[in-house]
Amino acid sequence: MFCEKAIELIRELHRMSDGQLPAFNEDVLRQVLQEMEALYEQNQTDVNEAKAGRAELIPSIKLRHCCLLRNQRCLTAYLYDRLLRIRALRWEYGSVLPANVRFHMCAEEVQWISQYKKSLASFMRSLGGGEGLDITQDMKPPKSLYIEVRCLKDHGEFEIDDGTVILLKKNSQHFLPRWKCEQLIRQGVLEHVMS
């Protein structure tokens, strides 16, 4: 049956419904494109014959055409859903994506995410009367400016606003400005300790 390869791509994303980004499956994608090419060529020859008077070919032409549309839909959905996932990564990880995630993107996707980062950054700069506002911060309304955090792993040195450098060592506990550590908490480096 046609279009089996295309549904394979969709199933791959559908299985990881939590938003993880699987490796870009260029192999299967190319196979789908090849299948589409073959379908198109068969249809071309059949269309020419149908024009010459063989009207009984029309149902087959229509069937192949449906398959072409279906393949197109699957590929579009695959690429679009990947973009949604990549966009989510920008919000979860911050502006620098870890290497193992970047490794799973194709060249066009890397280009797209860098464009997205640029537009997001220039939007955030334009906010707040020219001062700029980081809208990826304070996803939950803050109760206090400083929070207690515990390190879950060695992260190295970390500089806060007043210039003090602190060492984020595993199991050490610190009292830090909230906006400085929100990103690190989201990345699982720090843990928010509630009293």
Partner 1 sequence: MDTQSYLPVQPGVGMGENFLSLDDIVLSHERLPIRTECRFPRLGFLEKSSDSQDIPEGTKMELPLWLSKGLYEKKRRVLSVELPKVYREGWRTVFNADPNVVDLHKMGPYYYGLGSQMLHFDSPENPEIAQTLLQTFIGRFRRNMDSSQNAYNEDTSALVERLDCLEKALFTSGQSGLNSFQSWEKGQASQLTASSLVLNYRKRKITDLQP
DSSP secondary structure letters along 72-93: HHHHHHHHHHHHHHHHHHHHHH
Chosen residue from 34, 48, 51, 91 binding partner 1 by CB under 8 A: 91
Q: Indicate the Cα dihedral angle 164, 169, 172, 176, nearest 10°.
A: 30
Note whether 119 binds partner 1 by CB under 8 A. Answer: no
Question: How far is residue 76's CA from residue 70's CA, in Å, rounded to a whole number?
Answer: 10
Note whether 174 binds partner 1 by CB under 8 A. Answer: no
DSSP, res 57: G
Which residue blocks in 94-163 are alpha helix, DSSP H?
99-102, 107-126
User: Where in 68-87 is the site for partner 1 (CB under 8 A)?
Assistant: 69-70, 73-74, 76-77, 80-81, 84-85, 87
DSSP, res 26: H
Chosen residue from 115, 134, 143, 146 binding partner 1 by CB under 8 A: 143
- Where does this chain bind partner 1 (CB under 8 A)? 1, 3, 7, 10-11, 13-14, 17-20, 42, 46, 56-57, 59-60, 62-63, 65-67, 69-70, 73-74, 76-77, 80-81, 84-85, 87-89, 91-93, 100-101, 103, 139-143, 147, 182, 185-188, 191-192, 194
